[in-house]
Amino acid sequence: MQTALADFIRDSPAGREAEAILRSCVHCGFCLSSCPTYRLLGDELDSPRGRIYLMKQLLEGAEVTASTQLHLDRCLTCRACESACPSGVRYGRLLDIGREVLEERVPRATVPGLKRRLLRKVLPHAGRVRALLALARMLRPVLPRALRARVPHGARTPAPGWPAARHARRVVLLDGCVQAALEPGINSAAAQVLDRIGISALRAPAAGCCGAVTHHLAAREETLAQLRRNVDTLWPLVESGVEAIGVTASACASMVTEYAHLLRDDPQYAARAARISALAQDISQIVSAEREALDQALRQANKAPADLEVAFHCPCTLQHALKGGGVVEPLLRAAGFTLAPVTDKDQCCGSAGTYSILQPELSQRLLRVKLAALTQGAPDVIATANIGCLAHLRGGTAIPVRHWVELLADRLP
């Protein structure tokens, strides 16, 4: 693709990066059939190729309107197009650049702008999320039906207490923000699993949101401030010799792997951010690499095959961003679970961070399609690897939805 970027961005780091990405696109269209919004709407401008053309016009200085904003807002950032692209177009990174520029050049209406600001001020803070959940539960009986379905009755009983650090091998598990408020037992379950395979899990209480919420809402300075805080918090643990930074929400794991890129031009943080990104892994990647130890722990548990059929939903961030598709299913089988058939495994559930709040109609349509695929085999439980997907799926079905690591912890002594 030929480009002629405008002066305001041409010679900047973002401009040079965007130009390289644009030039790598050959207009082949292989991305179209992988795009959830194109499959729903059939509009070229709601496909990766169409959005690339819109961003090209934006970066070349053409007049842009709320229509361009609408089509970019509709993108889930699922990155399925990247998995389908034969040319290796880094669409997700181009979208980040395009959204930041668009946010500066096209003012938002008052109500949508306020909604996005509130999301940035609440979701990255676990304490604020807990307070909001408590209020929502109090008001649950009088809420509209559609909103009532999205409010959990309460967090489940946490997994058994956090095991003491007794192994030479150590990883740090990030608490995160929404998950820490909504499902605190997930990290406890992960710590139990790691303990059983010979790895101690440490905590970093001062580390907060990974930065994904503000990043995908194009709030660059807020995002960088969150990243720097987490680098400062995690660095002493890195220096102490932890072998990995484990994350039990795949979207957050994906975000931490981006620290190196996002802080690459910051001389005070670039080197440390690169090291932290290199250490960051989804919990499934850590456990999968210790398969021999896991199998031994399962044999010691000596439990009968689990009387549960599990439908596993692989989040977009795990399969497309982290390239971890197919990692979890063997672990569930090893633990004695039967896996239910699931069609369209690569399709997004519609959660996509704040997307389910900002684009509720499209999000619900995607949710119905995904749940139809997950429940066709009448599973006993749906498992996933990301808190956003978990909460979103749970709001649309009576079938229990759990994090897969909780199921694995249930099978270990």
The pLDDT of residue 94 is 97
End of a domain among 105, 126, 154? 105
Question: How many Cβ atoms sit within 10 Å of the Cβ of residue 393?
Answer: 24
According to DSSP, residue 211 is labeled S
Q: Containing domain of residue 31, as a range?
A: 7-105
Read off the tokens for 237. Answer: 């643990």
Answer yes or no: is 209 within a domain. Answer: no
Answer yes or no: is 37 within a domain. Answer: yes
Indicate which CATH number applies to the domain containing 62.
1.10.1060.10
Indicate which CATH number applies to the domain containing 363.
3.40.50
Of 175, 152, 163, whose CA–CA distance to 230 is shortest? Answer: 175
Answer yes or no: is 154 within a domain. Answer: no
The 3-state DSSP class for residue 244 equals: strand
Distances from the Cα of 412 to the Cα of 241, 300, 337, 353, 402, angstroms:
27, 8, 13, 31, 17
The pLDDT of residue 205 is 86
End of a domain among 68, 86, 105? 105
The pLDDT of residue 65 is 87
The pLDDT of residue 132 is 84
Answer yes or no: is 199 within a domain. Answer: no
End of a domain among 72, 105, 138? 105
Contact 192, 409 (CB under 8 A): yes
Answer yes or no: is 295 within a domain. Answer: no
- Over the chain (413 residues), what is each successive 10-residue block's mean pLDDT? 88 94 94 95 96 95 91 96 96 96 91 93 90 81 68 58 95 93 93 97 92 95 96 96 97 97 96 98 98 95 89 97 96 96 92 94 96 96 97 94 97 89
> How many domains does the chain fold into?
2
Residue keyed to tokens 């499934």: 284
Answer yes or no: is 323 within a domain. Answer: yes
Answer yes or no: is 395 within a domain. Answer: yes
List of residues 6+ apart from 203 with CB closer than 8 A: 162, 172, 173, 175
Answer yes or no: is 79 within a domain. Answer: yes
